[in-house]
């Protein structure tokens, strides 16, 4: 549905900590699941019937590259219904981008 990427002047661990804090135990979608793989720099949050947000955080040439993807993980038969069922899709890309930019600012600013 959306993929964003940028680099920041912050250590990988700091960025992973910020993301993990942001997607702590519960952020409102039920049932939800948070997956943290620090060794590979990945954090995923899956909740509700369709939403999965994935972050990949890697060291790159002295900076940290942060990639955020939002995926529609609804079942095959209901995948088409996600945009119709969720009125908040109006402005979804702008809100997702703004949240990503805020995360980068908190981490140390984007390059």
pLDDT band at 106 (very low <50, low <70, confident <90, very high): very high
Beta bridge partners of 67: 5, 56
Residue-level pLDDT at 50: 82
**pTM exceeds 0.85 for this model:** no
pLDDT digits (tens, 9 = 90+) for 20-61: 888 766 555 566 788 989 999 999 998 877 889 999 999 998
For Cα atoms 2, 111, 8, give the angle at the middle one, nearest 5 degrees: 75
What's the CATH code, domain 2-107? 3.30.530.20
Torsion from C-alpha of 9, 14, 17, 22, nearest 10 degrees? -30
Taking CA atoms, 66 is separated from 22, 74, 82, 88, 105, in Å, by 15, 25, 26, 25, 12
Q: Write down the pLDDT at residue 103.
A: 92
Residue 90 carries which DSSP code?
Answer: T
Which DSSP state fits 28? Answer: S
Average of per-residue pLDDT values in the chain: 85
Q: Return the higher-pLDDT residue of 92 and 7.
A: 7
Half-sphere exposure in the Cβ direction for 109 (13 Å, CA): 2
Report how far residue 71's alpha carbon sits from residue 51's, in angstroms, rounded to the nearest whole number: 6
Residues in the chain: 111
């Amino acid at each position: 549905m959306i993929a964003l990427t940028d680099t920041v002047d912050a250590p990988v661990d700091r960025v992973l900590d910020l993301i993990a804090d942001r997607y702590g135990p519960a952020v409102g979608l039920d049932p939800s699941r948070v997956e943290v793989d620090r060794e590979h720099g990945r954090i995923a949050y899956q909740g509700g019937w369709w939403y999965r947000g994935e972050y990949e955080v890697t060291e790159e040439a002295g900076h940290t590259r942060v990639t955020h993807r939002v995926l529609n993980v609804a079942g095959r038969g209901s995948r088409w219904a996600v945009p119709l069922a969720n009125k908040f899709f109006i402005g979804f890309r702008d809100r997702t981008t703004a949240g990503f930019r805020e995360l980068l600012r908190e981490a140390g600013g984007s390059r």
